[in-house]
Structure 1
Amino acid sequence: MRALPPSLAGIGAAVLLTATLLTAPASAQPTTVAGLLAHYYDLSAEAELVNEELLVVQEELAAHRQASATAVEAADEAKAAADALRDKVTVAQDLDRVADVLSSRRDLDGLTALATSTSPDDLVGKLEAATLAAHLTGGPRKGDAALEAAEAAEEKAIAAESQAQALESKVAGTAAEVRQRRSALDAQIAEVRTALDNLTPEQRSLLDGIEDYGSDVVIPGGNAGEVLRFALSQMGKPYLWGAVGPSSYDCSGLVQTAYRTIGITMPRVSRQQALVGKQVARPDVRPGDLIFYGKPVHHVAIAVDSVRAVHAPSFGENVKIGGIDNIGSITVIRRVVG
């Protein structure tokens, strides 16, 4: 959860706690600038957590949809194979019956055919019948075992198809529930953001000046410098949940895209990114290191130096530089390059 910047917390009560009472929104939001901003940060942190949960569920849903499609294709192929064998076995069974009829005739062996034929044509016909009977009766119902195997494969494929579709449906339901939660948070955050945007110019300028970390950034060489250079070049672009650029970002989307510029593929969400690289102690932070916040992790920033970090903060805000220790409660710091 992102902490309220100390500079805001320390501003005089006459300015923030008594002189800036607002008209409370319909949902009974806090009535001071300090309380309203703290509430905004709380909602934003919760929203980030829900958004990352949704991204994870969406990845899982995509995998289940692919598995389901593959299972459907396999089931269709198994059904077609079983149907083809069933057709062949039906033909074989019909031929078996013909063979039974032919073999029951006594004049089908060669000697009998010769002795009983009334003409050369009659003899040829009887010899052909004898040959056919011998061929057909040599191995009746040879396809039964193959058919049983095909039908067993068909049943297994149909069961796998059903299971895959059930899992897809379950995960789709979970995704829908998370989307509803995110939508509800969207509405609450928009309401608080509207209240913040309706502050007087004096109040607005006070808030805008709270996190002034300057622009005296020194970008190092190497891959860490390239990551930092890209992230800083995105400053001013709006935060958007689920965005990975180029016009907007969420916190982990900015990290993923920045590291992609140096050929490193990072996981999509911050809780997964927090497992990449090696852990670094707070006093050892260097430019390009990743600072992760919250338990469970739900926010990430890229270190500019030992004091500042660039990040995509939250709904209604733009990519900017903030104080590493003011962004929130640090969970872990990871070094991926350098």
Structure 2
Amino acid sequence: MLLAATTLVAPAPAAGQPTTVAGLLAHYYDLSKEAERVNEELLIFQETLAGQQRTSEAAKVAADEAKETAGRARRRAATVPNLDRMAEVLARRRGMDALSAFAASESPGDLLARLEGAALATQLTGSGGEDDVALAEAEQAARAAETAERAAEQAEKKVAKGAEEVRRRQGDLDRQISEVRGALDNLTPEQRSLLATMDDFGGEVVIPGGGVGGMLEFAVAQMGKPYLWGAVGPDSYDCSGLVQTAFASAGVRMPRVSRQQAQVGQRVARANVRAGDLIFYYEPVHHVAIAVDGQRAVHAPSFGESVKLSGIDAIGPITVIRRVIAS
């Protein structure tokens, strides 16, 4: 690979940095790949946090509704007549059904009064029990909703804390990469030309027809645009952002991060790679490229670089290859 032959002395390396161009470049690639992995981790955290925030909001709404329901049940229970006090008044009529009312009545008016009394007794004795059950159920639901709300808030805080920790790691990697990149930018013209000739995978790209063609044409047209963590275009991209946007141009919806994208489509053997296939790298997956033919792929490489063509096998260790668009 290109690192092995590049043994020129690196210009004024910072403390702890390699002293050869090969070592400096290898260190740069290592840092960039680690940063890319951390970036994908941050994106996953951000997606999880957004989902947890939606869950927390739904739990809050549910808790508020449950509390209001319990409040209405309490107010209704407070207005129910005291059945103990009513018992003495309704002693003669409680339990009296229509048949006994008819038998005991002395006149049509008396019969009507007795029937109304029986109905009233049934209504009062029944409604008290129902309200007690409703109140107990409402209060239990309110307590459960409050517990769910607290759990959702705690989960949201935990995810947010994890995301903040990943951001700190990302910032530290940014600093280290900037230092190494600064050293690489100070390479002599001779050193630059040596590195350039050893990583040349340019040349014409033949765009196939069908949905693959439109997607690939879009991806190739982004060449030269800078890599930027978290970017999905139109002016810059990270690796999975380029894939997501390119496939969207062909009407295909893809997940945001490469680890999720690696679960989409049909698995393809390395020997059967064709234009439009997705090549995923490293374990766990944290880089992706789009094949333009059986040997090259277009991708957003890493910090400080631009979207370009690279050799499929030169990008890194392949984890899996997927075909999302069949033709």
Is the structural similarity TM-score above 0.5? yes
Q: Which residue of 1 aligns with 2:24?
A: 36
Q: How many residues align?
A: 301
- Provide closer, same or farther for how the CA distance between residues 335 and 137 of structure 1 changes in structure 2, counting only shifts above 3 A: closer
How far does the alpha carbon of each residue in 1:83-113 deviate from its partner, in whole angstroms, 9 at most, with x for none?
A: 1111111122xx4289559949xxxxxxxxx
Instruction: Give, in angstroms, the shift of residue 270 of structure 1.
Output: 1.0
Q: Which amino acid aligns with 1:139?
A: L
Instruction: Give, in angstroms, the shift of residue 29 of structure 1.
Output: 0.8
Instruction: Give, in angstroms, the shift of residue 294 of structure 1.
Output: 0.6
Residue 206 of structure 2 is aligned to residue 218 of structure 1: yes
Q: Which amino acid aligns with 1:25?
A: A
Q: Which amino acid aligns with 2:316?
A: G
Structure 1: distance between partners of 2:75 and 2:240: 57
Q: Which amino acid aligns with 1:210?
A: M
Q: Which residue of 1 aligns with 2:13?
A: 24
Alpha carbons 1:99, 1:136 under 8 Å: kept: no
Q: Secondary structure at the match of 1:139?
A: helix
Q: Which residue of 1 aligns with 2:154?
A: 166
Q: Which amino acid aligns with 1:10?
A: A
Q: Which residue of 2 aligns with 1:230?
A: 218
How far does the alpha carbon of each residue in 1:192-236 deviate from its partner, in whole angstroms, 9 at most, with x for none?
A: 111111223332333334322223111111111112101000011
Alpha carbons 1:307, 1:324 under 8 Å: kept: yes
Q: Secondary structure at the match of 1:245?
A: coil
Q: Which amino acid aligns with 1:96?
A: N
Structure 2: distance between partners of 1:324 and 1:137: 82
Residue 71 of structure 2 is aligned to residue 90 of structure 1: no
Structure 2: distance between partners of 1:46 and 1:144: 61
TM-score calculated relative to the size of structure 1: 0.82
Instruction: Give, in angstroms, the shift of residue 21 of structure 1.
Output: 3.4
Q: Which residue of 2 aligns with 1:108?
A: none
TM-score calculated relative to the size of structure 2: 0.85
Q: Secondary structure at the match of 2:313?
A: helix
Matches within 5 A, 1:126-137: 135=120
How far does the alpha carbon of each residue in 1:277-328 deviate from its partner, in whole angstroms, 9 at most, with x for none?
A: 1222222211111111111111111111111110000011110111111111
Q: Secondary structure at the match of 2:320?
A: strand
Q: Which residue of 2 aligns with 1:139?
A: 124
Alpha carbons 2:10, 2:24 under 8 Å: kept: no
Q: Which residue of 1 aligns with 2:240?
A: 252
Alpha carbons 1:301, 1:310 under 8 Å: kept: yes
Alpha carbons 1:292, 1:301 under 8 Å: kept: yes
**Sequence identity of aligned pairs in percent?**
60
Q: Cα RMSD (Å) of the superposition?
A: 2.5
Q: Which residue of 1 aligns with 2:167?
A: 179
Structure 2: distance between partners of 1:65 and 1:138: 46
Alpha carbons 1:57, 1:171 under 8 Å: kept: yes
Structure 2: distance between partners of 1:21 and 1:68: 52
Alpha carbons 2:279, 2:291 under 8 Å: kept: yes
Residue 140 of structure 2 is aligned to residue 152 of structure 1: yes
How far does the alpha carbon of each residue in 1:220-268 deviate from its partner, in whole angstroms, 9 at most, with x for none?
A: 1111111210100001111111111111110011011111111111111
Q: Secondary structure at the match of 1:58?
A: helix
Q: Which residue of 1 aligns with 2:4?
A: 9
Alpha carbons 2:3, 2:25 under 8 Å: kept: no
Q: Secondary structure at the match of 1:327?
A: coil
Q: Which residue of 1 aligns with 2:194?
A: 206
Q: Which residue of 1 aligns with 2:95?
A: none
Q: Which residue of 1 aligns with 2:275?
A: 287
Q: Unaligned stretches of 5+ in structure 1?
A: 1-5, 105-130
How far does the alpha carbon of each residue in 1:53-100 deviate from its partner, in whole angstroms, 9 at most, with x for none?
A: 1111111111111111101000000001111111111122xx428955
Q: Which amino acid aligns with 2:155?
A: L
Structure 1: distance between partners of 2:324 and 2:67: 50
Residue 27 of structure 2 is aligned to residue 64 of structure 1: no
Structure 1: distance between partners of 2:265 and 2:84: 75
Q: Unaligned stretches of 5+ in structure 2?
A: 91-115
Residue 219 of structure 2 is aligned to residue 239 of structure 1: no
Q: Secondary structure at the match of 1:325?
A: coil
Alpha carbons 2:278, 2:289 under 8 Å: kept: yes
Structure 2: distance between partners of 1:67 and 1:36: 46
Q: Secondary structure at the match of 1:157?
A: helix
Q: Which residue of 2 aligns with 1:329?
A: 317
User: 2:305 aligned to 317, 321, 324, which one?
Assistant: 317
- Provide closer, same or farther for how the CA distance between residues 138 and 244 of structure 1 changes in structure 2, counting only shifts above 3 A: closer
Instruction: Give, in angstroms, the shift of residue 139 of structure 1.
Output: 1.3
